[in-house]
Amino acid sequence: MVTKLRERSQVTLPAEIVKKLDLKAGDNLEITLEDEKIVIKPVLIIDRAQSWFWSSDWQAKEKEVESDIKAGRIHKADGFEDLIEKLK
Which CATH number do you get for residue 24? 2.10.260
Q: Are 38 and 31 in contact (CB under 8 A)?
A: yes
In angstroms, rounded to a whole number, what is the distance separating the alpha carbons of residues 64 and 15?
Answer: 40
Q: Is 21 contained in some domain?
A: yes
Q: Per-residue confidence at 74, pLDDT binned at 50, 70, 90?
A: confident
Domain around 16: 7-43
What pTM did the predictor assign? Answer: 0.54
Average pLDDT over the chain, rounded to an integer: 93
User: What pLDDT, in 10s, does the model give residues 5-31?
Assistant: 999 999 999 999 999 999 999 999 999
- pLDDT (0 to 100) of residue 82: 92
CA distance linking residue 65 with residue 82, whole number of Å? 21
